[in-house]
Amino acid sequence: MSLKKITGTFVDGVASDIPSNNWTAEDWKTEFDNFKSLGIDTVIIIRVGFRDSAMYRSEVMKTSLYEDPDLIEIMLREAGRTGISLYIGMFDTMNYWPRNDWQNEVAVNRELIFELRERYSAFPAFKGWYMSHEGSLHTHPNQIWKPLCETIRSFDKTRPIIVSPRYHGKKCDANWPVPPEVHARHFDYLLGEMEGLIGAYAFMDGHVDFRDLESYVKATYDVFRKHGISYWSNLETFDRDMPWKFPPIEWSKLRFKLETVQPYVEKIITFEAPHFLSPNSLFPSARKLYERYKRYLTEKPALEE
């Protein structure tokens, strides 16, 4: 079968747990050209605001820190120029929802959705929405996803909505990992709750041991096939095994994860190319990872059946 490449990437426009590249508009122009050469057709803004920072001066988020000029507009223009689809994420307050105050997290993001519609709907490259609040069995994300998706669907019936949950394995919680069969039961329930609202789920692959990855992927694949919903992989190109957050991943780990998911997923995206899989990254090892990945694509264009 043909090798499924990485065809989508998140972009981190607001520094949270990785440092900023501090790119200008010209740097983003160069990076979108790089996306195109890498075969990326989908770019997802993982969050438009985080804590007290935002990608533009927002009347809703009211953050002290913000990008100027508007970084979302810069990305939309570059996506339009290069023919890439751009998905826009939400505001992660890191204030309300960690305290189980779902109502206030939802309230500010509902207002944000209408602000995003007003500011960016005219851009042809604005192709979809992203639910930024990540989820697993322990966080019950439908309490945020469902009302926000319903808000979007009240005026936007066509742009797809995507999300990136996690496998709640040993690297997520060493004391209480959720085994694949329990994970599958949870998402069987969750997909029923979210029916008709979210078009694709791209699961983060870094919270499980490498030897366990396929068992989680296979269990998830079976559930998504049952519900007829798109199952993607979020292939993390940063390394969770290091003593600091977060360096670019070791090449053998990237290759292993890429090859493991091949029979199961419809699309492979990554968090995230600008920092960890780019010749323009602030990390020198990301440039070497980019070179090794590009070489791999030319040397191994297909996998055995």
List the helix and strand counts (H, then E) for the chain.
Answer: 9, 12
pLDDT of the chain, 305 residues: tens digit per residue: 789 999 999 999 999 989 999 999 999 999 999 999 999 999 999 999 999 999 999 999 999 999 999 999 999 999 999 999 999 999 999 999 888 888 999 999 999 999 999 999 999 999 999 999 986 566 657 899 999 999 999 999 999 999 999 998 899 888 989 999 999 999 999 999 999 999 999 999 999 999 999 999 999 999 999 999 999 999 999 999 999 999 999 999 999 999 999 999 999 999 999 999 999 999 999 999 999 999 999 997 655 54
What single-letter amino acid sits at 117? R
pLDDT given for residue 302 in this prediction: 59
pLDDT given for residue 140 in this prediction: 59
Kindly list the strands in the beta sheet with 49-50, ordered across the sheet, starting from the edge strand earlier in the chain.
Answer: 65-66, 53-54, 49-50, 91-92
pLDDT given for residue 213 in this prediction: 98
| E runs forming strands in 155-301 | 161-163, 200-204, 230-236, 267-271
Domains, the chain: 6-299 (3.20.20.80)
Bond into 10 cis (ω within 30): no
Question: 27-62 burial, b for 16+ CB within 10 Å, e for fewer?
Answer: ebbebbebbeebebebbbbbbbbbbebbbbebebbe
